[in-house]
């Protein structure tokens, strides 16, 4: 997002809960553990401004669960849907069933999806099979009009998932997530609400190369890894005066990861030997934060001021001897202050402008500090952590302008960011890789100063006669200000246009979407990055609502079978060329709710 990635982005569920990837290669990123059929919407809060939900360094992605419903009588409800795709042979299904009355809303949910390999626009087969499912319970109880208790318990499973760009595949992933919250609405003049949440996540993950048809098979490799996260937050909403309210609270998050890779040598002079690599070194980061946000409305102005202070403590509980030889200090405590302010001015009923400024500081993640020569980037270079990385600091400004009427909305956003102690990585020629297929080792380090800036904009318009269209564009520029070289993993200019219609009282909704992405020739050679070519993709979509509760969606993705890959795609193991995206794909989804 805007050149920010991985742990520079704060990914949370309902403002607090999260999970950590057990795979150093991010086979299971936090977003993969979210039961999307229980999510109402996703808030994308760009920039270092949403400090209530954690350390929002480059932005926050907040997955918000569906709101509970209450009724005077016992009322059953539910939903089920299924879909199929031609390319990849993807099958998906999900179901929700529940009961609600005046004091409770209890539901069970589940989903399952599976896929085989797909064919890209060149007609080549890409290994991308997977099987993944989730099930769980959501119970909301309202013992009194001013109290609400919410319990969510979720189990995720995945197996036999292929990763063409990685040396191993995901054999099994077993995850538990739990969240318990209490909401209190006292109805007082000053104290409006208090919300307290405690949560946990546990990921049990095994990956290996046993699914690979290797000839010759040099070794049998496998990694058993686990992550344990838990935490909580308490937030109070307070009215200070007319049109002035404050959100204040405290939160805590503990993150721990451990995993051992085994390498059983089958050929060569080391045949018969088994080596063990300590991937995570049982590392742990605990972070405690206090935060406050003030919102004030006066005439045509809206003011928002936020502040946050985090204490970050990191340590390795089971350090590897080889890692110790390359890093002396393995424990570190850092204090990270963050502050932001924004003012929005209305210039009449349609036009609005805003200025947002912020400074956010974040410590390195477990991967950046403690990864022990594992390939965790978009290329096969092995990465070596640096426990004493300095906190990187983002100084950012956003200028936002919007024009909104009943039929037209225009938006333009300019942003600039200067990051000191930017956390990146550089190839270290003095270090030797452990795996023969790796071209070398990159060590995490701080760059003195980096710059990220760009522009986003777009419009959406109702044309009349049920017709509508929209346009969006985004472009980001990144530079290491010390060397003048490009920052790595910066996506090129992306332009999207869609044209649709609302027909037959919104029972027929056709749409065509065009996306054009420019080539990215500005790359980081120190990072080992590759250039990417431009591409254009066209999708068509048709949604039908023949009955009030029946919804059918069908369409064609990549209509003209374009052969393309995203700039941020990884390269195929042993080949070196980036993974191309799926070619033409027909799909249909049918859903019914009651």
pLDDT in tens, 510-521: 999 999 999 999
> What mean pLDDT is predicted for residues 349-355?
95
pLDDT at 233: 96
The secondary structure of residue 120, as a DSSP letter, is B
Give percent above pLDDT 90 in the chain.
74
pLDDT > 90? residue 364: yes
Averaged pLDDT score across all residues of the chain: 92
At residue 353, the pLDDT reads 97
For the chain, the first-to-last Cα distance in angstroms comes to 37
Mean pLDDT confidence for 152-156: 95
More confident residue, 431 or 413: 413
With a cut of 80, say whether residue 26 has pLDDT above it.
Answer: no
Fold held by 296-487: Maltoporin; Chain A (2.40.170)
Residue 227 in contact with residue 255, Cβ under 8 Å? yes
Task: Tell me what pLDDT residue 137 has.
Answer: 96
pTM equals 0.88
Please report the pLDDT score of residue 241 as a whole number.
84
What is residue 169's predicted lDDT score, i.e. its pLDDT? 93
Residue ranges per structural domain of the chain: 296-487
Residue 242: per-residue pLDDT: 85
What does the alpha-carbon distance between residue 375 and residue 300 come to, in Å, rounded to a whole number? Answer: 52
Query: How far apart, in whole angstroms, are the C-alpha atoms of residue 504 and residue 502?
Result: 7
Angle (CA) 104 250 1, round 5°: 90
Whether the predicted pLDDT of 377 surpasses 90: no
Q: Which helix (H) or strand (E) holds 342?
A: strand 332-346
pLDDT for 268: 85
Residues 321-346 have pLDDT tens digits of 888 888 878 899 999 999 999 999 99
At residue 216, the pLDDT reads 84
Q: For residue range 202-253, what is the model confidence (pLDDT) as tens digits?
A: 999 999 999 988 888 888 999 999 999 999 999 999 998 889 999 999 999 9
pLDDT band at residue 55 using 50, 70 and 90 as cut-offs = confident
Residues near 444 by Cβ (< 8 Å), separated by ≥ 6?
364, 368, 369, 371, 383, 384, 385, 386, 389, 423, 424, 425
Query: What does DSSP assign to residue 490?
Result: -
**Residue/partner pairs of 138-142 with CB below 8 Å, 24 or more apart:** 138/38, 138/65, 138/98, 138/105, 138/106, 138/107, 138/109, 139/104, 139/105, 139/106, 139/107, 140/68, 140/104, 140/105, 140/106, 141/103, 141/104, 142/70, 142/102, 142/103, 142/104
Spatial CB neighbours of 516, under 8 Å, sequence gap ≥ 6: 494, 495, 496, 534, 535, 536, 537
Is 576 a residue whose pLDDT tops 80? no
Q: Give me the pLDDT at residue 394, please.
A: 96
Question: What is the model's pLDDT at position 27?
Answer: 83
| Alpha-carbon span 28 to 203, nearest angstrom | 9
Would you state the structure tokens that stand for residue 389, as one six-digit string? 């990385």
Mean pLDDT (whole number) for 568-591: 89
Q: Report d(CA 388, CA 329) in Å as an integer.
A: 7
Give residue 229's pLDDT. 94
Confidence label for 430 from pLDDT (cuts 50, 70 and 90): confident
């Amino acid at each position: 997002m805007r050149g920010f990635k991985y742990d520079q982005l704060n990914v949370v569920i309902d403002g607090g809960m999260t999970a950590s990837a057990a795979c150093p290669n991010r086979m299971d990123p936090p977003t993969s553990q979210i039961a999307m059929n229980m999510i109402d919407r996703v808030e994308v809060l760009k920039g270092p401004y949403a400090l209530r939900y954690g350390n929002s360094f480059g932005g926050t992605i907040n997955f918000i669960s569906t709101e509970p419903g209450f009724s005077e009588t016992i009322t059953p409800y539910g939903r089920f849907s299924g879909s199929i795709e031609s390319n990849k042979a993807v099958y998906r299904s999900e179901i929700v069933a529940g009961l609600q009355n005046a004091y409770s809303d209890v539901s069970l949910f589940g989903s399952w999806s599976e896929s085989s390999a797909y064919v890209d626009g060149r007609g080549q087969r890409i290994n991308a099979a997977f099987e993944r499912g989730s099930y769980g319970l959501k119970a909301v109880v309202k013992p009194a009009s001013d109290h609400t208790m919410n319990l969510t318990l979720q189990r995720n499973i995945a197996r036999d998932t292929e990763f063409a760009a990685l040396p191993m595949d995901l054999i099994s992933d077993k995850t538990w997530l739990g969240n318990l919250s209490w909401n209190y609405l006292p109805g007082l003049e000053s104290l409006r609400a208090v919300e307290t949440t405690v949560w946990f996540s546990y990921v049990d993950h095994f990956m290996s190369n046993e699914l690979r048809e290797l000839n010759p098979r040099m070794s049998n490799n496998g990694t058993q890894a686990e992550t344990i996260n838990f935490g909580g937050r308490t937030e109070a909403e307070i009215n200070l005066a007319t049109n002035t309210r404050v959100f204040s609270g405290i939160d805590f998050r503990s993150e721990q990861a451990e995993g051992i890779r085994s390498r059983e040598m089958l050929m060569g002079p080391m045949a018969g030997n088994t080596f063990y690599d300590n991937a995570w070194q049982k590392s742990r980061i605990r972070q405690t934060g206090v935060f406050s946000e003030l919102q004030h409305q006066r005439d045509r102005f809206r003011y928002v001021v936020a502040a946050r202070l985090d204490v970050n403590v990191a340590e390795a509980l089971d350090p590897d001897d080889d890692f110790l030889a390359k890093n002396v200090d393995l424990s570190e405590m850092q204090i990270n202050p963050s502050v932001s302010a924004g003012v929005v001015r209305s210039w009449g009923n349609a036009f609005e402008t805003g200025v947002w400024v912020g400074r956010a500081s974040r410590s390195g993640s477990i991967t950046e500090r403690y990864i022990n020569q594992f390939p965790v980037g978009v290329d096969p270079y092995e990465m070596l952590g640096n426990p004493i990385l300095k906190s990187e600091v983002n100084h950012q400004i956003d200028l936002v302008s919007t024009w909104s009427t009943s039929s037209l909305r225009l938006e333009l956003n300019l942003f600039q960011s200067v990051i000191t102690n930017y956390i990146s990585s550089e190839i270290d020629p003095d270090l030797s890789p452990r795996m023969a297929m790796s071209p070398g080792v990159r060590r995490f380090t701080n760059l003195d100063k980096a710059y990220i800036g760009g522009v986003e904009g777009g419009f959406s318009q109702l044309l009349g006669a049920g017709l509508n269209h929209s346009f969006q564009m985004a472009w980001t520029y990144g530079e290491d200000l010390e060397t003048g070289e490009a920052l790595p993993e910066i996506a090129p200019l992306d332009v999207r246009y869609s044209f649709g219609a609302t027909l037959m009282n919104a029972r027929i909704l056709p749409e065509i979407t065009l996306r054009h992405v420019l080539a990215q020739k500005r790359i980081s050679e120190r990072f080992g990055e590759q250039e990417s070519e431009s591409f254009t993709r066209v999708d068509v979509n048709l949604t039908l609502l023949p009955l009030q509760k029946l919804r059918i969606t069908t369409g064609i993705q990549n209509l003209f079978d374009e052969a393309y890959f995203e700039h941020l795609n990884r390269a195929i193991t042993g080949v070196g060329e980036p993974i191309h995206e799926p070619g033409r794909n027909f799909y249909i989804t049918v859903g019914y709710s009651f």
